[in-house]
Amino acid sequence: MRTQKKLVFTFIFLISSLFCFSQKEGRSYGGDYKFNPENVPCISEAEKMKIWDEIIKNEKQLKEEGKLLKKTSKLIQSFSWPVRKAAGIEFFDVWVISNYLDHDGTSPNNLQDYNCGTRTYDTNSGYNHQGTDIYSWPFTWYQFQNNFTEVIAAASGTIIVKTDGNFDMSCDFNNDQWNAIYIRHNDGSTTWYGHLKTGTLTSKNVGDTVTAGEYLGVVGSSGNSTGPHLHFEVYDNNNNLVDPYSGPCNNITSWWQDQKDYYEPNINALLTHNAAPDFNTCPETETVNLSAEFLPNQDVYLASYFRDQLSGTTANYKLYKPNGTLFSSWTRNFSNTYTSSYWYWTFNTLSDLGSWKFECSYQGKTEIKLFDIVTVLNIDESRFEKITIAPNPFNNTIKLLGDNFNKEDYKLIVYNNLGQEVFLKDQFLNEMNLDFLVKGVYFLKVIAKDNNSFKTFPIIKK
């Protein structure tokens, strides 16, 4: 799928007529995030034929080895949701559905999903989308780099094909193979999990069994893809394509244990930033500018990130001082439906020391983000923010400019586009010779050894 090469965000200065303000409410910006706006196919027909050849071959072999049960005539599967957020992250959720299966076999521009809507796509070449696409949000590439969105087995079964080691930071249609796992279930149905991140797939191999909810890998962007997402595809015991959703345009018994609504409005994250986030261009990691500590009267960016923002709904915001009194409250009335969206407000008059509470309520759910106003910033936080890379892009050597670091307290790691470590230095350097690298995009991570706090910088070798 495609994250726009130059992400087109509608940064809007929200005029007062759109809001109910308190007098202390700051300026606001935001808009929608479009995933795969150019409708790039997830997989070619030629690649699908190769996959089916391997599935059939492996099924035959596994049956001979007694590792695969004979297909039954009755379908009994009941799927759990195939993605989850990794443990220990502050986001409330990490996924959004961009596309469902297209039930209208004609193309182009003849769309019909299971709910008789058009949350799907086809192409001029005759491709009709054949699965469910679930992308990571917010900050798809930041999540990718930090393994935030995990893929899990929707049901118990046997791994019949496993493909790993392919390039996983694709931004356009290509001829690359994706990283994927294919599971045959006891009723003979099969689930496909495509676009996974290289090197994150389960250590289990073909012929091994997995249970429902078991870890399979991390959401990536391998194969025909334009951003990190999972392509989830289902086949029945006769290898016929199945849409697991029940709806007015797919009159079946749902294959889901608990089928999600067509829209799932949610606050995926409340975050605080010391500067506006920069979504960059694929496959660069977003400059997230996350911070939980601020100096008095420093610019504070209070941000909310939504899934399935619905037209006609309202988000209510409150900001509380450390003593519990209300500092500001405001609302955002949504006039558009966006699959994923973000809205942030800036404040520069927060002076009371202590822990502040940022609160957002949307569609019956309230989420809270805490942050601190302090007299002195955490040393790592303040130092990381002062680091600049020059030149970038670079030829052979880059310099790390900024605060004076105790070199022994930090280490430097450079990763390539595959997430593989290509350079490691166990102390901080003000200058790095990387002439051995080939041209391309890399990621420099500066890590504090004592608490594992870090900041990642995209760097480009020209």
What the block records as the tokens of 412 is: 């430097």
Distance, CA of 72 to CA of 203 (rounded, Å):
28
> Which among 326, 341, 373 is the end of a domain?
373
Residue-wise pLDDT tens digits, 115-160: 999 999 998 888 899 999 999 999 999 999 999 999 999 999 999 9
Check residue 15 and give its pLDDT.
33
Q: Does any domain span residue 255? A: no
In a shared domain, residues 147 and 282: no
Q: Does any domain span residue 1? A: no
Q: Does any domain span residue 437? A: yes
Q: Does any domain span residue 105? A: yes
Kindly report the pTM of this predicted structure. 0.80
CA distances from 352 to 16, 54, 265, 325, 337 (A): 27, 64, 34, 11, 37
In a shared domain, residues 327 and 395: no
In a shared domain, residues 174 and 234: yes
Could you tell me which of 133, 147, 145, 119 has the C-alpha nearest to residue 41? 133
In a shared domain, residues 317 and 219: no
Q: Does any domain span residue 421? A: yes
CA distances from 74 to 52, 59, 71, 188, 238 (A): 22, 19, 9, 9, 11
Range of the domain at 74: 45-242
Q: Does any domain span residue 257? A: no
> Which among 207, 242, 277 is the end of a domain?
242
Number of domains in the chain: 3
In a shared domain, residues 351 and 418: no
Strand order in the sheet with 326-333: 19-20, 326-333, 314-320, 354-362, 365-373, 293-294
Distance, CA of 222 to CA of 194 (rounded, Å):
8
CATH number at residue 326: 2.60.40.1930
CATH number at residue 183: 2.70.70.10
Question: Can you say how many angstroms the Cα of residue 45 is from the centroid of all Cα atoms in its chain?
Answer: 26
Distance, CA of 243 to CA of 276 (rounded, Å):
40
Q: Does any domain span residue 432? A: yes
What the block records as the tokens of 248 is: 């007015």
Distance, CA of 85 to CA of 141 (rounded, Å):
14
> Which among 339, 358, 373 is the end of a domain?
373
CATH number at residue 403: 2.60.40.10
Phi, psi for 59 (deg, rounded to 5): -60, -45
> Token pair 């407000």 is at which residue?
345
Residue-wise pLDDT tens digits, 6-26: 333 333 333 333 333 343 555
Question: Can you say how many angstroms the Cα of residue 273 is from the centroid of all Cα atoms in its chain?
Answer: 19
CB 195, CB 163: distance < 8 Å: no
330-333 — which CB contacts under 8 Å span 24+ positions?
330/19, 330/20, 330/21, 330/22, 330/25, 331/19, 331/20, 332/14, 332/18, 332/19, 332/28, 333/18, 333/19
Tell me which residues of the chain have a pLDDT lower than 50.
1-23
Coil, helix or strand at residue 35: strand
Question: Can you say how many angstroms the Cα of residue 18 is from the centroid of all Cα atoms in its chain?
Answer: 30
Q: Does any domain span residue 6? A: no
In a shared domain, residues 27 and 145: no
Averaged confidence pLDDT in the chain: 89
In a shared domain, residues 121 and 270: no
In a shared domain, residues 222 and 93: yes
